[in-house]
């Protein structure tokens, strides 16, 4: 299973970006899909996560500004990021919990995409 993330970039504070992540490969189903981020010198942290059925949860720091969504038919998860702040600067990683076979549940990571917010 591969996860291909895209959509990062440089934006001014108050601006918006939309990240996308597409899954490919052989598997039975994808349970959770989500986004994590890691800023320089900090641990990787959960930003948002969404179930197959569309239930989402967010880090407190992004609630009301970020929206996660997914289109199961397209095997894609999105992260709409509004009102970006310099503290949102980080490498953003796509993540998925995948039922690869009936007996094998694994977690996969994308390659990361850089988001830089200038003040």
CB 47 within 8 Å of CB 29:
no
The CA distance from 104 to 53, in Å, is 21
pLDDT digits (tens, 9 = 90+) for 35-88: 999 999 999 999 999 999 999 999 999 999 999 999 999 999 999 999 999 999
CB 108 within 8 Å of CB 31:
no
Looking at residue 16, its pLDDT comes to 98
The CA distance from 78 to 100, in Å, is 22
């Amino acid at each position: 299973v591969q996860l291909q993330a895209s959509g990062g970039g440089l934006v001014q504070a108050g601006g918006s970006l939309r990240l996308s992540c597409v899954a490919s490969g052989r598997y039975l189903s994808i349970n959770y899909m989500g986004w994590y981020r890691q800023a320089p010198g900090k641990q990787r942290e959960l930003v948002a996560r969404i179930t197959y059925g569309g239930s989402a949860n967010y880090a407190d720091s992004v609630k009301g500004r970020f929206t996660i969504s997914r289109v199961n038919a397209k095997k894609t998860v999105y992260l709409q990021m509004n009102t970006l702040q310099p503290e949102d600067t980080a490498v953003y990683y796509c993540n998925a919990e995948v039922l690869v076979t009936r007996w094998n549940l694994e977690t996969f990571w994308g390659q990361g995409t850089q988001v830089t917010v200038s003040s």
